Chains A and B, each alone.
Chain A
Amino acid sequence: MLAEFGHFALLLILVAGFSQALLFSPLRLHAGRIVASLSFGTKTVTAVSGNSGNEALSDVHEPDTTPHSSALPTPFPNNLIALPLIILALGILSQAALIHAFVVSDFSLPIVADVSHSSTPLLFRVGAAFTPDGGAMLLWVLATALANIVFALQVFRRASNTPTTASSDSLFIANALSILGLVIAILALVTLIDADPFLRVAVAPLDGRGMSPQSQDVLRILREPVLYLGLAGLTVIFTVSIAGLLTHKIDRSFAETLRPWVIGAWLFLGLAIAINAYRSYSQQAWGNWWYWDTAENSLLIPWLLTTALVHCRAVLEKTDTLKSWTAFLGLSAFAVGWFGVYLTRSDLLGPLTETLSQSADSTALLVGFCLLFSAAYFLFWRQSDRMAEQKAFGFVSRESGMFLSSVTLSLIAAVILIGTIYPLVLRWVDGENITVGAPFYVEALLPVVLPLMFIMGFAPVLRWRQDELWLIGRRMKLAVMLSLIIVLFVSIRFIDLSPLPLIGIGLAGWILAAALSDLWARLWHQPDHGESKYRNLQLLGPRYISMTLAHIGLAILIAGGSASAVWEEQVVLSARAGQSIEVGPYNLQYEGVALLAGENYATRQATFILYHHSLPVAELFPEIRYYPIRGTETREADIFHGRDGDVHVSVGDRSEDGGRIVTVRFLPMMPWVWTGMILMLIGGSISILTRMFLRIRKNGVPAS
């Protein structure tokens, strides 16, 4: 019966979302209706919310005619968080109901029967709740509800800190909350139409089909909540941008409101990408960390746009310029995020193995996407010409550097988007099936990535407003020399290296050298505060530190990626127990295969002892798992992360001569890739955490 509660809660989310959209919509505020009974408003609006979809959509354009309202009836701040709180509670309720159905293996729900089985371990039964369409949509709704309440708290605190909130400010807040409610309602509606997770069948099967073995992985399960939290962050960015467009309030305080969301979304999407990369590296036995497949691209594109947004938002906050561009990126980041979900959820790009017997229907997801974003871009078109930039900046300035980098980042995103949907469009146009793979992306992206990385080196040392070229030259000379030395060293040391990885390594060296020399200059050459180095470190501020960390992280990532691709060593052989395999500086001794039982699988686990200079350093256990429920095998590689590189071992079938096929790869500098990713994520976290820490210290415990 709990599933029915969940279903009802999902329906109520739809209602409450529309209520929030209506209650906070300027329409209603203008009507001057009493909104004091906001928390109980749900019931009164229930009656109209059924057909209010169009109404709510048209609200988006409404304040166009009356942008500057006078005094508002003050529905907030007191009741501001009541409705978001209700939505969050409902979201938790319906998610809990679904997870409960998976935990108790209620196979009368087809969604459970399709991707779960009574023998699936508990953790994966919970994780299975997120893999099918309906479950994932529900998670998305929940994440958005969470972002909704956090955003409400954020504006609530701001409103209560400044008692005399300007009316345009409250209008801005009301607009943002209204659209957030609308998005939640649309998502809930899409869930109900496309893939209602709570449907029942009359005759329940005796047992489920089992979870796809590829998904039975802790990282795979972690990825889903992280991904949807990132998307929820994008949702808030989107709604804040719309509200800013509506009220002509794209200014510094707008940028400040946006700040935690932009960095938060960047962080979560980046984490999802990192998890995805490590998972495909470790689980699928062929062990690459990036494939340019749809699922990966649909994470990368919004992440790139969010990265662009991080930069131009900073410019907006600092100098009050780049208004339209920031708003455009704010809209587009969520647009591509949603579109990415659509691409991966629908079976447009070939049938998905994970949803075998389900006919995935994502029509409503697409229709909702088209409606919401055509309204958004229409609004952008109508409003952005009223936001002419008042101030200009010199071509050689920090603004211009950051603007250029955000443009190139968006170009990269556009190229990847085109590469992702081009095969689809081609198939529709002349029925031809092609695949776009790594060669295309490398060729098409190179002309955009190279200038970006070049800009990345010196943009952080530019001065705001106006700078002089010769001054830059003076500041950058150390970095230029260092990166030239690196390129020269690598090209002489490895004389037959092809130019491409050399360029990658050189540019990584350039970014690294530029970031470090700037850091060094700030720490030791600061004339004003020469008395204390520690003071200099403090003066850098969390923003500078997080930026530098993220840039260094990217440099390390690129260097590691290039190097591991070039100097990879691979050995494939048919090994017998006791045999020794030499790879790179390591020696791998094969001990044999044991047949073991896992919780819901049988596994052939091979044992290897890894020697480094004849000293044993680790034992590695690659496996072939057989999952009897689905009757499929997965091959789990085992990886040793050494200081000089990763040793990646996987085993295959028995070969004809009685040995075991063993694939060993030594990927030098591969740990650099993971270190780089982690550094970037730490950089983002520092930026958010210090901010939160400072705020709590200033205001005491945040009111909630």
Chain B
Amino acid sequence: MRFSLAVIPLVLFAALAGIFLINIDKDSSVVPSVLIDKPAPDFSLPPLPGADKGLSRADLTKGKVSVLNVFASWCIPCRAEHPMIKRLSNEADVPIFGLNYKEKDPQDGVKWLEELGNPYQAVGMDLSGRTGIDFGVYGVPETFIIDGQGQIKYKHIGPVTSEVLEKVLLPKIAELKG
């Protein structure tokens, strides 16, 4: 009788631990975005100081699969992921757009790109963070894959690592290109 009772905590604990351990890989940053398979919100952003071309929704609806990367100079993971964005621009033949999110000083973004290199076809400057809110951005970096009609097809939250790049983003882009 005692024997069977005392095993209950172990069984319950094992069940709980099992559930959590099995799901440990389920990346909770893949939060189902309400915007998936929805058209990207309408926006029009000014260019970085010194650049001639800003970013607007029209850039995303030119019939080509594109990538929108949200970055900021104050964001350390962005610095870490930047080489991956450059790799992405080399390896996938798609236009990559940048959304420079909530800079304090517009020059910060320019300096950042001068220092690390600029893989973006065009960069829009979102000083107020309003466009970021429309995109459902709640942290930087985030990366969106958008199809030729301007529909958001995938959203990655957090820095792009080489693993994410190879196993998620590149296959996804290839699949969308058909």
Contacts and interface: CB of A to CB of B under 8 A. Distances in A.
B2 A431 contact: no
A113 interface: yes
Contacts of B20: 366, 370
A433 B32 contact: yes
Given A351-B139, A433-B32, A113 B13 contact: no
A335 B32 contact: no
B32 A377 contact: no
Given A203-B79, A351-B139, A381-B10, A209 B74 contact: yes
B139 A356 contact: yes
Given A378-B10, A381-B7, A381-B9, A347 B141 contact: no
Contacts of B14: 374, 377
A685 interface: no
A114 B76 contact: yes
A385 B1 CA distance: 9
Contacts of A370: 17, 20-21
A357 B75 contact: yes
Interface string A334-357: 010000000000111011010011
Nearest to B116: A203
Given A356-B138, A357-B76, A324 B10 contact: no
Interface residues of B, number: 37
A363 B102 CA distance: 31
Could you say which of A209, A346, A358, A370 has the most chain B C-beta atoms within 10 Å of its C-beta? Answer: A370
B90 interface: no
Interface stretch (B22-30, B35-43, B57-65): B22-30
Interface string B95-135: 00000001010000000000000000000000001000000
Contacts of A358: 77
B10 A113 contact: no
A642 interface: no
A697 to B, nearest CB: 41
A374 B13 contact: yes
Interface string B71-84: 00111111100000
Interface in A319-337: 324, 328, 331-332, 335
Contacts of A207: 74
Contacts of B77: 357-359
A64 B141 CA distance: 52
Contact of B76 (A113, A385, A433, A628): A113
Contacts of B19: 425, 428
B46 to A, nearest CB: 18
Contacts of B141: 357
B154 to A, nearest CB: 17
B26 A428 contact: yes
A373 B76 contact: no
Dominant SS at the A interface? Answer: helix
A428 B79 contact: no
Contacts of B24: 363, 366
Interface in A117-149: none
Interface string A209-240: 10000000000000000000000000000000
A441 B62 CA distance: 52
A201 interface: yes
A491 interface: no
Contacts of B54: none
Interface in A359-411: 359, 363, 366-367, 369-370, 373-374, 377-378, 380-381, 384-385, 388
A431 B28 contact: no
A348 B76 contact: no
Contacts of A113: 76
B132 to A, nearest CB: 11
Contacts of A359: 29, 77, 158-159
A235 B140 CA distance: 37
B133 to A, nearest CB: 12
A209 B75 CA distance: 8
Given A356-B138, A373-B17, A428-B19, A381 B6 contact: yes
Nearest to A117: B74
Nearest to A433: B32
Interface in A415-432: 421, 425, 428, 431
A310 to B, nearest CB: 20
Contacts of A357: 75-78, 139-141, 158
A385 B78 CA distance: 56
Given A357-B76, A357-B140, A358-B77, A377 B9 contact: yes
Contacts of A421: 16
Contacts of A110: 76
Given A205-B74, A209-B75, A433-B32, A366 B139 contact: no
A598 interface: no
Given A370-B20, A380-B6, A428-B23, 15 more contacts: A113-B76, A324-B2, A347-B29, A351-B139, A357-B75, A357-B77, A357-B140, A357-B158, A359-B29, A366-B20, A374-B14, A377-B14, A381-B9, A384-B2, A631-B102
21 contacts: A110-B76, A114-B76, A205-B79, A207-B74, A331-B9, A350-B31, A351-B31, A351-B138, A357-B78, A357-B140, A366-B24, A370-B17, A378-B10, A380-B6, A380-B9, A380-B10, A384-B2, A384-B6, A388-B2, A433-B32, A628-B104
Which 7 A-B pairs have CB atoms at the shortest separation, nearest pair first? A377-B10, A356-B139, A370-B17, A384-B6, A385-B2, A359-B158, A381-B7
